[in-house]
């Protein structure tokens, strides 16, 4: 059965996480994604371990495996003139190019968007960088943690403001991942635009701007009120009660989204009178009197265990859930039923686990055909397939260390 992007070729020159995440998504949807890596070293994240894939002779790091399935790996030295020429020839055959070098690096190699769009006007050239391709900070480097900090996310993440602990970053590199998500959707939009105009274009995806964009309601809260949002721990700035609570034997997350749910919730707690109190009747009132309400609810929740409360809430249709660790998430019945973990054998016949893409197409399914590639394992294959290079030329390029 056909995949959504079976006709698309992607040249993925990116590394670390944001660019590879975009490339993996395009590969999941069926694109032929060719990952270009440094000879002898490869993507930095190949070495970001432990943990390593158990039994893997090449010692691939779990970090690398998380973002590089459904790709083929070739090695090309971008600093070598002959390597640069190979890239130009590959570009002629490509639909999409992904790169996340520091701004200006690709231009210095003669591989900037202007140069490559000149030789392939249909190319969609997507650049991911810390601060964008223009502006006063364009030349600055950036990693996820500093973007979470400088673009506002850490200021609203962590224990409530005024507590002993300070701002915290999210436990996953979400600035990188969201930039990759924006990049993949932008690439798809540009490919659709190409169908109408016949022309590709350059796309500029800054991590910083992406992080600011998905501050979402928190950014809008500031723009509307002029008040700078602070940290609320697990609580929600616009909904109450919507946070974690302690129980007699653990914790649970309660997510009450409207006044009817609130009335049902406090009835479950044996506190129906709270829904009639003017201070708590409407959500806007509950936000105003957050601390008093949470104190009343917390005292009651400590009287029973998590499982008992969750059964009671479920019976009334109140959104609540356990606070699972990752082992529980990937090993529970829901994960098995939904096949949230898949296994793909790599070229060494070693099984590589992977977390499934959450998209479920009815007619053009996501593919799980290629495990994350070993470094350079497809170099000869791709050069023959895309460029019809003879064995002699491949051997010459390898001898000169261009590939």
Return the ∠ at Cα 39 (arms to 35 and 44), rounded to 5°. 65
Based on the residue annotation, tell me whether 176 is a catalytic residue of this protein: yes
d(Cα 294, Cα 291) in Å, to the nearest integer?
Answer: 5
Return the ∠ at Cα 112 (arms to 26 and 84), rounded to 5°. 85
Residue 91's CB is within 10 A of a number of other CB atoms, namely 18
CA distances from residue 369 to 166, 313, 366 in whole angstroms, order as listed: 44, 41, 9
Q: Strand, coil or helix: what is 32?
A: strand
Q: Burial level of 55, CB count in 10 A (0-12/13-18/19+)?
A: exposed
Catalytic residue among 176, 204, 292, 391: 176
d(Cα 61, Cα 160) in Å, to the nearest integer?
Answer: 35
Of 356, 358, 339, 369, the residue nearest 3 (C-alpha): 369
Q: For residue 262, give the H/E element and its range.
A: helix 259-268
Of 83, 62, 61, the residue nearest 74 (C-alpha): 83
Which positions are catalytic? 176
């Amino acid at each position: 059965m056909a995949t959504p992007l079976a006709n698309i070729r992607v040249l993925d020159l990116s590394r670390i996480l944001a660019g590879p995440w975009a490339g993996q998504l395009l590969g999941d949807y069926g694109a032929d994604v060719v990952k270009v890596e440094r000879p002898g070293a490869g993507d930095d994240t190949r070495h970001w371990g432990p943990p390593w894939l158990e039994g893997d002779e090449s010692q691939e790091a779990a970090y690398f495996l998380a973002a590089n399935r459904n790709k083929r790996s070739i090695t090309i030295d971008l600093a070598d003139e002959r390597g640069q020429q190979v890239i130009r020839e590959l570009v002629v055959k490509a639909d999409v190019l992904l790169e996340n070098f520091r701004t200006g690096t690709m231009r210095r190699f003669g591989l900037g968007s202007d140069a490559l769009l000149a030789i392939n006007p249909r190319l969609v050239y997507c650049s991911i960088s810390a601060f964008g391709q223009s502006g006063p900070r364009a030349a600055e480097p950036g990693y996820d943690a500093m973007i979470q900090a400088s673009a506002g996310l850490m200021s609203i993440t962590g224990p409530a403001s005024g507590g002993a602990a300070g701002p915290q970053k999210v436990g996953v590199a979400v600035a990188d991942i969201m930039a990759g998500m924006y990049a993949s959707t932008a690439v798809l939009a540009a490919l659709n635009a190409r169908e109408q105009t016949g022309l590709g274009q350059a796309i500029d995806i800054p991590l910083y701007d992406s992080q600011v964009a998905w501050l979402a309601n928190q950014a809008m809260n500031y723009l509307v009120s002029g008040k700078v949002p602070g940290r609320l721990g697990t609580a929600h700035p616009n909904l109450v009660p919507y946070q974690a609570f302690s129980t007699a034997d653990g914790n649970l997350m309660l997510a009450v989204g409207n006044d009817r749910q609130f009335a049902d919730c406090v009835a479950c707690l044996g506190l129906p009178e709270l829904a009639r109190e003017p201070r708590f009747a409407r959500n806007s009132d509950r936000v105003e009197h957050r601390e008093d309400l949470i104190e009343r609810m917390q005292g009651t929740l400590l009287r029973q265990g998590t499982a008992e409360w969750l059964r009671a809430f479920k019976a009334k249709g109140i959104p609540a859930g356990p606070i699972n660790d990752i082992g529980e998430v990937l090993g529970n019945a829901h994960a098995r039923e939904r096949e949230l973990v898949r296994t793909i054998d790599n070229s060494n016949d070693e099984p590589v686990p992977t977390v499934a893409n959450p998209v479920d197409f009815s007619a053009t399914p996501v593919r799980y055909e290629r495990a994350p590639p070993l470094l350079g394992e497809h170099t000869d294959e791709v050069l023959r397939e895309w460029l019809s290079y003879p064995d002699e030329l491949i051997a010459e390029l390898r001898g000169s260390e261009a590939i």
